[in-house]
Amino acid sequence: MGRLGIDARKLDDYGIGSYLQGLLGELALLDPPEGIVLLVAGESRDLLPEVPDTWRLVEVDAPGYSLREQAVVLAAAIRARVDLLHVPHYVLPWLFPGRMVATVHDIIHVLFPEFLRSSLGFAYARMSIRAAVRRARRVITGSRTTADDLRRLFGASESRLCVIPHGVHCEFLAAGDPVADEQARARLGVSGPYLLHVGNHKPHKNAEGLLKAYQLLVHDGRGPVPTLLMVGGFAPDGELAARARAMGLAEQVRCLGHVERAELAALFRGASAFVYPTLYEGFGLPVLEAMACGVPVVAGDIPAIHEVAGDAVLRVNPRDVVELVAAVRHVLEQPELQRQLRERGRARALGFQWRRAAEATLDVYRTVREES
């Protein structure tokens, strides 16, 4: 009998990596009897959760989103006698002879092709997504939003789509120790009140729109404004930091770059508000993490955020900087609104559990195996 394989090469990718860590951690506790073959990249093996001895790790050296990975991943899976392969993104090994399950987190590369390096990258993304929805026996999505996008733009069959919401990691659900949190923030050079944003400079994240709104907030004459902390793909010497300096915001905007998960949780818990004017998401993981930490959230009014957060966040038109400024001011100046958002967000986040996601994913594996 063949074995179940999971392509775990993207453990160091923020969104996909978080998904893999949460899913694999719970699958390890459930420990399916057949064991699992994990295809891993050497540089990210240290990010693996503890897994049972019955699992087998196979190192695969191939860059993501490349033609080389088609051959290397295919060969590794066949050598390991994998007959059911779960790929946690849309680039499947096209010639794999067994059955496959794909997780498609979003179709951002198709909707926002401007951040791809070339038209060839756009064509490869479209071809890969189309191949995934046709070749995979089941396509898992974290939201109904992404499932609908796949059905509408790629003709995915509803019978093959499985919506399994992601979970939230325990670091964000923990109450946190105030002293330890303060020490973590101090190590990052963070003090005083601040607004928090977690993301990157890709167009759909709308970091430029956030900077424009923050500039208006600073100069609206209604009193002091918390510092804006930009965490994630925002290096201190990067493009967004330079843009902030050019806008006269060098003293008010700090780009911290990537931080550890525990540090991020401490930043969430200390923030006056989390501001996330995204234009598109497949799920909206940072919003869920912020809600779990009990921080008031202002976010773009888009389908995925509506689906994940409901009325637990203050939603705004992400393209309207005036509306965004008004919403942030409203949160900063209304203690009762802050309390409501904290309570609603925390309560809603508790419903997103990795154990539940892992159990549903195991059900998908069983269904695919039992099909004729």
Q: What is the pLDDT of residues 139-179, one digit of tens each?
A: 999 999 999 999 999 999 999 999 999 999 999 999 999 99
The half-sphere exposure of 57 on its side-chain side, counting CA atoms within 13 A, is 17
Q: Cα–Cα distance between 26 and 352 in angstroms, integer?
A: 13
Q: Cα–Cα distance between 168 and 25 in angstroms, integer?
A: 12
Greatest C-alpha distance within the chain: 70
- Same topology for domains 3-167+353-370 and 170-350, yes or no? yes
- Taking phi first (over 0 means left), then psi (-120 to 50 degrees means alpha), and beta for anything else, what does residue 88 get? alpha
pLDDT, tens only, 353-363:
999 999 999 99
Compute the average pLDDT of residues 214-221: 93
Percent of the chain with pLDDT over 70: 98
- Superfamily assignment of 170-350 in CATH? Glycogen Phosphorylase B; (3.40.50.2000)
* CA–CA distances in Å: residue 37 to residues 4, 107, 194, 236: 6, 27, 44, 39
pLDDT in the model for residue 117? 66
CATH code for the structural domain at 3-167+353-370: 3.40.50.2000
Q: Where are the domains of the chain?
A: 3-167+353-370, 170-350
Compute the average pLDDT of residues 185-208: 95
Contact 368, 138 (CB under 8 A): yes
Alpha helices, DSSP H, located in 105-220 = 108-111, 119-135, 144-154, 170-173, 178-187, 207-218
